[in-house]
């Protein structure tokens, strides 16, 4: 009878241990999903601001149609990827492209003093800059939560149970280092 109690106690301890691991992974997964939703909200805000910014710039820089077209194409590509894919790597690539084209619009304003002084443009530029800062903060938070989640999956003894529980590593929201560091060149 004592041996059965000891075995039952060991099984109960193992069960509690696995439940603890499972609950920790669920909490971390939910934090990853929540932080992804924060990025999602800021990206949608950015998508809404871009057409207004482009229209304001069009009024002043009529012969810059190529630059403005690139911004709209990058926005549309990012929105399409955003709506149709939950792949972090694909989303990162299109968002990096959009960020690069937005830099070119702000660089255009340096060559158009009237545009630079336009209150609508300044307001939109400030709102977009604020949104970019929020996106940056949301990306940073997302990556820290993903790091915590991935670490929890890889450490022993969690790694023994992760496969059975169905958890997999998550991708980071990475910047394309080459494009992120490029200086925007505007030539006429």
Name the CATH superfamily for 17-181: LemA-like domain (1.20.1440.20)
Amino acid 90: pLDDT: 78
Backbone angles phi, psi at 27, to 5 degrees: -60, -45
Instruction: Provide block-wise average pLDDT over 10 residues at a time, the chain (188 residues).
Output: 89 91 93 91 87 75 69 81 71 80 74 68 82 89 94 89 85 66 41
Q: Could you tell me the CA-to-CA distances from 4 to 7, 16, 18 in Å, in that order? A: 5, 18, 21
pTM of the model: 0.68
Q: Determine the Cα–Cα distance for residues 114 and 76; give it in Å rounded to an integer.
A: 28
Asked whether 84 and 101 are in contact (CB, 8 A), the reply is no
Phi-psi region of 166 (alpha: psi -120 to 50; beta: other; left: phi over 0): left
Residue-range domain boundaries for the chain:
17-181
Amino acid 60: pLDDT: 65
Kindly give, in sequence order, each residue whose CB lies less than 8 Å from that of residue 89, ignoring residues fewer than 6 positions away. Answer: 171, 174
Asked whether 123 and 92 are in contact (CB, 8 A), the reply is no
């Amino acid at each position: 009878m004592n041996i059965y109690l000891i075995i039952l106690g060991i099984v109960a301890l193992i069960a509690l241990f696995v439940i603890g691991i499972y609950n920790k992974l669920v909490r971390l997964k939910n934090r990853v999903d929540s932080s992804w939703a924060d990025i999602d909200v800021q990206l949608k805000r950015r998508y809404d601001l871009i057409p207004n910014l482009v229209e304001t710039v069009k009024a002043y820089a009529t012969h810059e149609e190529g630059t403005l077209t690139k911004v709209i194409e990058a926005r549309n590509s990012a929105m399409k990827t955003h709506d149709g894919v939950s792949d972090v790597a694909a989303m990162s690539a299109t968002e990096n492209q959009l960020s690069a084209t937005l830099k070119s619009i702000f660089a255009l304003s340096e060559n158009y003093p009237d545009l630079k002084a336009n209150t609508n443009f300044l307001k939109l530029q400030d709102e977009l800059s604020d949104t970019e800062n929020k996106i940056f903060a949301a990306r940073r938070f997302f990556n820290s939560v993903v790091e915590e989640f991935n670490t929890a999956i890889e450490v022993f003894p969690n790694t023994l149970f992760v496969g059975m529980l169905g958890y997999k590593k998550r991708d980071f929201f990475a910047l394309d280092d080459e494009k992120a560091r490029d200086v925007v060149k505007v030539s006429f």
